[in-house]
């Protein structure tokens, strides 16, 4: 048991170390490199020369110029301070990092000036150089890391968009521009570069009978009357036919809570609509005469009764038709001729009826 546990524990620890290293390298490494750079400047007396130039520029006396013998301890303090900054700065957001190292630089400069007025000298250029390089390196590493994560996210999004069959759209309400995905355009028979990003490319193709319903659904959603935008409507295909579409979307608000864009998806419902219509016709219509069967007649009768109860001025009547000697025709001439007789009678009957709405 112990011999099996130790390799697994070692693998887990190695995985944790690799994961920790890959996650936090950008936090510690930039500040550590900046610290080592400043320490190397100190060892080669570059910082001492800068300190002396600052003292001369500020017209201090010779005893204010730093003594090189007193700065041998400076590299150790810089190393400790730099490592502390490398562990502290990355925990803050970028804007707070900028404010932090700017405050450190200004604060150290003010403190050095006050002590100079009292006759005391402390290094001013070297710590400010350390603060600036640490803050700048951490900010640069954070920017590079954010850019890499953004590129990875965009790549995953592009693969996701190309891998799904739903059409995606992104409507910017400020500019009235809509970004259509390639599947969205393919649903209407267009290529990836054939439609512009103007909103009129969308609304001009909506069936005239569905335009008001779509606009009402959008208005209700923007006013908060519905939890999400959703509706079914018909869109004009490139071949001149209309295709049933189901669209759903969610709003993206700014900091003030105002809707800036609506992002959603679209699914082609044409085949589903055809299937539903075929099932409805099979359930409520006779395949021979194409008239209502018993279930369809009872459903239509129930609806007429409800309408009459809701609107007293509405009246309806039930007409009963029967064919005399039909049994004789069917038995003597055959069922095939009887079916043809029923179909012909149904066609004549439908010629006198109002078309269904």
The CATH number of the domain holding residue 209 is: 3.30.450.20
Owning domain of residue 183: 165-274
Would you give the distance in Å from CA 293 to the centre of its chain? Answer: 49
- CA–CA dist 4, 91 (Å, integer): 38
Q: Does 247 share its domain with 293?
A: no
Instruction: Give mean pLDDT, residues 264-270.
Output: 88
Residue 279 lies in a domain: no
Phi then psi dihedrals of residue 315, to 5 deg: -125, 150
Instruction: Give mean pLDDT, residues 280-301.
Output: 80
Q: Does 138 share its domain with 31?
A: yes
Nearest to 305 by CA among 294, 297, 315: 315
Q: Does 49 share its domain with 146?
A: yes
Residue 5 lies in a domain: no
Residue 4 lies in a domain: no
The band of 242, judged by pLDDT with boundaries at 50, 70 and 90, is: very high
Backbone angle region of 94, left / alpha / beta, with phi > 0 → left and psi within -120 to 50 → alpha:
alpha
Q: Rounded to two decimals, what is the model's pTM?
A: 0.51
- CA–CA dist 169, 181 (Å, integer): 6
Q: Does 253 share its domain with 318?
A: no
**Which H or E element spans position 222?**
helix 211-222
Among the three residues 133, 160, 187, which one is the final residue of a domain in this structure?
160
Residue 115 lies in a domain: yes
Q: Does 213 share its domain with 326?
A: no
Give the best-scoring range by mean pLDDT among 36-50, 150-164, 237-251: 237-251
Distances (CA, A) of 58 to 55, 93, 113: 5, 36, 10
pLDDT at residue 53, as a whole number: 67
Q: Does 177 share its domain with 295?
A: no
Q: Does 209 share its domain with 225?
A: yes
Please give the tally of structural domains in the chain.
3
């Amino acid at each position: 048991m112990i011999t099996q546990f130790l390799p697994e524990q070692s693998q887990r620890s190695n995985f944790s170390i690799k994961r920790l290293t890959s996650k936090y390298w950008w936090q510690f490494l930039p500040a550590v490199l900046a610290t080592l750079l400043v320490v190397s400047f100190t060892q080669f007396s570059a910082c001492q020369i800068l300190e002396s130039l600052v003292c001369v520029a500020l017209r201090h006396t010779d005893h204010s110029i730093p003594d090189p013998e007193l700065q041998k301890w400076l590299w150790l303090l810089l190393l400790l301070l730099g490592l502390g900054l490398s562990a502290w700065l990355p925990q803050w957001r970028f804007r707070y990092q900028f404010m932090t190292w700017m405050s450190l630089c200004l604060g150290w400069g003010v403190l050095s000036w006050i002590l100079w007025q009292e006759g005391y000298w402390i290094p001013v250029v070297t710590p400010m150089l350390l603060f600036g390089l640490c803050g700048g390196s951490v900010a640069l590493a954070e920017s590079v890391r954010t850019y890499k994560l953004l590129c990875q996210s965009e790549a995953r999004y592009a693969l996701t968009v190309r891998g799904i069959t739903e059409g995606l759209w992104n409507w910017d309400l400020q500019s009235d521009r809509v970004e259509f995905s390639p599947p969205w355009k393919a649903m209407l028979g267009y290529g990836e570069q054939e439609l512009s990003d103007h909103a009129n490319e969308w609304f001009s193709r909506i069936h005239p009978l569905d335009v008001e319903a779509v606009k009402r659904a959008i208005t209700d959603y923007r006013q908060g009357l519905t939890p999400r935008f959703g509706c079914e409507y018909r869109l004009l295909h490139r071949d001149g036919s209309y295709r049933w579409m189901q669209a759903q979307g969610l709003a993206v608000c700014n900091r003030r809570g105002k809707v800036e864009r609506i992002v959603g998806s679209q699914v082609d419902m044409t085949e589903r609509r055809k299937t539903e219509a075929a099932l409805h016709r099979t359930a409520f219509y006779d395949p021979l005469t194409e008239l209502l069967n018993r279930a369809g007649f009872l459903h239509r009768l129930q609806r007429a009764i409800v309408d009459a109860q809701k609107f007293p001025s509405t009246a309806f009547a039930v007409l009963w038709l029967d064919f005399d000697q039909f049994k004789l025709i069917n038995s003597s001439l055959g069922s095939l001729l009887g079916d043809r007789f029923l179909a012909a009678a149904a066609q004549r009957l439908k010629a006198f009826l109002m078309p269904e709405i």
